[in-house]
Structure 1
Amino acid sequence: MAAIDTQSPFAGLANLGQIPELRSRLLFTLGMLIVYRIGAHVPTPGIDPQALAAFFAQQQGTLLGMFNMFSGGALSRLTVFALGIMPYISSSIILQLMTAVVPQLEAIKKEGELGRRKINQYTRYGTVVLSIFQGFGIAYGLETMQAGGMNVVIEPGWQFRLMTVLTLTSGTAFIMWVGEQITARGIGNGISLIIYAGIVANLPVALVRTLQLARTGDIQPLFVLLLLVISVAVTAFIIYMERAQRRILVQYAKRQVSGRRMVGGESTHLPLKINTAGVIPPIFASSIILFPVTIANFAPWDGLKSLAAMLSPGNVMYMVVYSLAIIFFCYFYTAIVFNPEETADNLRKYGGFIPGIRPGFRTAEYLDTILTRLTLVGAIYVAGVCLLPEILIASYNVPFYFGGTSMLIVVGVTMDTAAQIQSFLISRQYEGLMQRARIRGRR
């Protein structure tokens, strides 16, 4: 088996067909994503599609348009997957926040695999509750909407409301199941891949819309070329920042084992990424803002509609709230995935230490200081990239998909999935070498 270069995140992808298990996982993931895209075109009963299309044509560039992007266009067609995966993400955020403040949930989390299953079960329950609440708000709001002189709902009433709530809640539960199946039996993070698939499916539409703006003279052809150059530059910048890390030297002391045998004495590096949280902060921040604003957009009260308008992309209030939410979730999620005290304790157990830093508390304090500074840089980078489309929307009426949140998610999920495939290939290569070594030993 050929050696795999571990320096590139896309190394070894040419060997995908050599491992049957990996091939089956990839095909399973692709099949689940195809099922998701098919469901995104199954309409909810009782809706006038022409009136709904006319209504969403007026929502371009608003936060409702952003929600439609995350659902892969399912919201604008009000399909069974109209709510998308956002209720599940909102429920996950609520559970993680409660775990940090509720001692009982924190104790459950520390129970290992059993605790993780309980937390996941509570997250599913929360997803259903949020989906029912959000679905009812959408159903009630649709009954009051008109577009082009036509009612969006053909026959308003409780029958339509209950049918819509049941349909949308079932659709979200099914997407949640699909995401969990991809994570368990496929390749990559299922929830992130579902969002990824929704964004990528609408990228051709955004490209065509941009070319139409250039053809009609709304934007100059030279600006379209500049926009493509900016997109390539932002993609390269995202890849660079996602791979950037601070490498901390770790030295292992020599110790004597099995009589006179000496082990240890080597040095290695502890890598700390600039953006440890990955694409989670913009997804979480979008979910927190989208949930109440979606209800406000569909609600018949003018006060809530004014609030939703203030939180539309391009407005200063939205930029401030979105940036603060991204920065908060960068720190919050980094604290979840990396524990300096646990890392320092593990280093001490195995005889490792950072030169010039005393093991134990001082090492944890040193790691926490470095991680805090790196996270600040990473949070500013993520917020800056995500605000790029807001500036383009406000200044040049550019489609929302170019740059920013969507590009960060697409690039980040692609790199994470490629890294998981590479790790799978390396592990299988190692197992193959060990098996060959055992066979030689027997001979």
Structure 2
Amino acid sequence: MATRADQMAQGLSLGKFAQATDLKKRLWFTIGALIVFRLLSYVPLPGIDPTAMGLLANKTSGGVLDFFNTFSGGSLKRASLIALGVMPYITASIVIQLSTSLAPQLAAIKKEGESGRKKLNQYTRYGTVLLTAIQGYFIARGLETIGANNGIQAVVEPGMLFRVAAVVSLIGGTMFLMWLGEQITSRGIGNGVSLIIMAGIVANLPTTLYNLLESARSGQGNIGGLQLVGIVVAVTALILFICFMERAQRRILIQYPKRQTQRGMQAERSHLPLKINTAGVIPPIFASSLLLMPLTISQFAGKHVAGESRWGDFILTLNQYLQHGSPVYMALYAAGIIFFSFFYTAVVFNPEETADNLKRYGGFIPGIRPGKNTESYFDYVLTRITVLGAAYLTVICLLPEYLVSALAIPFYLGGTSLLIVVNVTMDTVTQIQSHLLAHQYGDLIKKAKLKGGRLR
């Protein structure tokens, strides 16, 4: 049964939307920023022939680059200014967050509050520039080599000048996307970086659906009418399962000391909700970005140095074992999801701090002593539900891919992509409803003040 707040939000979504001026401004800003992101994906790097690049992308399709291309909204195949998307920024964020847990100096900076957060954000930007430069250089060298090997001159004038221009352009594109994501978060609706990733995924959805329907109509591949219905049912079931798990909670009863009220001495009770998937969509994004960075470098570098040395042969062998969909890749991906599920949950929820806050305000869990015992109880419950959350994320991200490869259906269900789209959409809708409720409460306060003034 829906709560009163949910019913109010549903009733207000249409009636009060036209009056929420600030919300409309935020929505228009978000839409405009995402349009700018999509336009940039069609701006090629300097020195790239777009027509030849399209032919080259069709010849070299497949593997990890297609997976990377999904997150960048097709920017990588077009060799655009934002070909790397926001993945270097996410990778740098992972490194900095891991470092704050391992390095005492960075841990001390994190405890400084707002000033410490600004310093860590600056370190993340420096790391983003470094990672983008490394990946950009190997992409530039790879474009020169891959084009020559396939008889297509995608690079107009190969050489050091092209490489420098490509690296500088890719750094500028990634840093602009990072800035754009921050602007969306502060001046728009939702998390900016997550919305940019979702926009890149959704941009490829019409093409994917068209290819699927065309394959079913023409009878190509293994897709027929029955298989098409099965895919639709499977995707619908996945979406419903994701929505259910994202709203699943473990509610811990919190009791406060008895207080004197009009009805006598009464004890106040509340609940502390702990989400089953506390980490949200962060673990799949972190795990994929960590795998994509070395794989992108090794794939381009391997084709450049293939046959020239043992190092080149080793890189090619590594690429074969780590191809997207291979057992080794899926095992590493699952391990990354599980690790970041526990790591990010520990970052978001601190059992010691929560137990101290409860003790300070007189709250306690029935049957559990305040202090260390409460902290241990929180840690015990959080560990158990994180196991379920990590298993859920692993199944959602890997099971569709395994089924598609096992059934040889030329359609990628995209458990990871589907998880990101559904999760980001739910978070954005929740923020919109919060703005609508805040707008309604503001109107009620104004009306109450007006009525009070008239009575006086």
TM-score class, shorter: over 0.9
Alpha-carbon distance change, 400 to 413 in structure 1, aligned in 2, over 3 angstroms:
farther
Superposition deviation, residue 357 in structure 1: 0.7
Q: Deviations over 1:361-407 (max 9, x none)?
A: 11111011111110110101101110033214422344565240000
Aligned to 1:436: 447
Name the CA distance, whole Å, in 1 between partners of 2:54 and 2:12. Answer: 44
Aligned to 2:418: 407
Aligned to 2:435: 424
Alignment of 1:43-442 (within 5 A): 43-146=44-147, 148-214=150-216, 215-219=218-222, 220-255=224-259, 265-299=267-301, 300=304, 301-398=312-409, 401-442=412-453
Q: Deviations over 1:91-124 (max 9, x none)?
A: 1000000111111211111111121111111111
Q: Secondary structure at the match of 2:181?
A: helix
Q: Which moved more, 1:16-25 or 1:316-325?
A: 16-25
Alpha-carbon distance change, 208 to 164 in structure 1, aligned in 2, over 3 angstroms:
same
Name the CA distance, whole Å, in 1 between partners of 2:256 and 2:264. Answer: 12
Superposition deviation, residue 255 in structure 1: 4.4
Q: Deviations over 1:112-166 (max 9, x none)?
A: 1121111111111111111111101111121111364223322110010001001
Name the CA distance, whole Å, in 1 between partners of 2:145 and 2:62. Answer: 22
Residues 313 and 390 in structure 1, CA contact (< 8 A), matched pair in contact too = no
Q: Which amino acid aligns with 1:418?
A: V
Alpha-carbon distance change, 209 to 361 in structure 1, aligned in 2, over 3 angstroms:
same
- What is the root-mean-square deviation of aligned Cα atoms in Å? 2.2
Name the CA distance, whole Å, in 2 between partners of 1:10 and 1:143. Answer: 55
Q: Which amino acid aligns with 1:267?
A: R
Alpha-carbon distance change, 342 to 431 in structure 1, aligned in 2, over 3 angstroms:
farther
Name the CA distance, whole Å, in 1 between partners of 2:423 and 2:55. Answer: 34
Name the CA distance, whole Å, in 2 between partners of 1:29 and 1:4. Answer: 29
Superposition deviation, residue 60 in structure 1: 4.1
Alpha-carbon distance change, 399 to 104 in structure 1, aligned in 2, over 3 angstroms:
farther
* Percentage identity across paired residues of the two chains: 54
Alpha-carbon distance change, 118 to 11 in structure 1, aligned in 2, over 3 angstroms:
farther
Superposition deviation, residue 439 in structure 1: 3.4
Alpha-carbon distance change, 129 to 148 in structure 1, aligned in 2, over 3 angstroms:
closer
Name the CA distance, whole Å, in 2 between partners of 1:149 and 1:328. Answer: 43
Q: Secondary structure at the match of 2:204?
A: helix
Residues 314 and 393 in structure 1, CA contact (< 8 A), matched pair in contact too = no
Alpha-carbon distance change, 200 to 401 in structure 1, aligned in 2, over 3 angstroms:
farther
Residues 108 and 115 in structure 1, CA contact (< 8 A), matched pair in contact too = yes
Aligned to 2:308: none
Q: Secondary structure at the match of 1:75?
A: coil
User: What TM-score comes out, normalization by structure 1 length?
Assistant: 0.94
Superposition deviation, residue 202 in structure 1: 0.4
Aligned to 2:307: none
Alpha-carbon distance change, 341 to 208 in structure 1, aligned in 2, over 3 angstroms:
same
Alpha-carbon distance change, 117 to 203 in structure 1, aligned in 2, over 3 angstroms:
same
Structure 2: gaps spanning 5 or more residues = 305-311
Alpha-carbon distance change, 317 to 148 in structure 1, aligned in 2, over 3 angstroms:
same
Superposition deviation, residue 178 in structure 1: 0.4
Aligned to 2:13: 13
May I ask how many residue pairs the two structures share in their alignment?
A: 439
Q: Which amino acid aligns with 2:6?
A: T
Q: Which amino acid aligns with 1:74?
A: S
Q: Which amino acid aligns with 2:118?
A: R
Q: Secondary structure at the match of 2:197?
A: helix
Q: Secondary structure at the match of 1:298?
A: helix
Q: Secondary structure at the match of 1:253?
A: strand
Name the CA distance, whole Å, in 1 between partners of 2:93 and 2:10. Answer: 30
Residues 43 and 78 in structure 1, CA contact (< 8 A), matched pair in contact too = yes
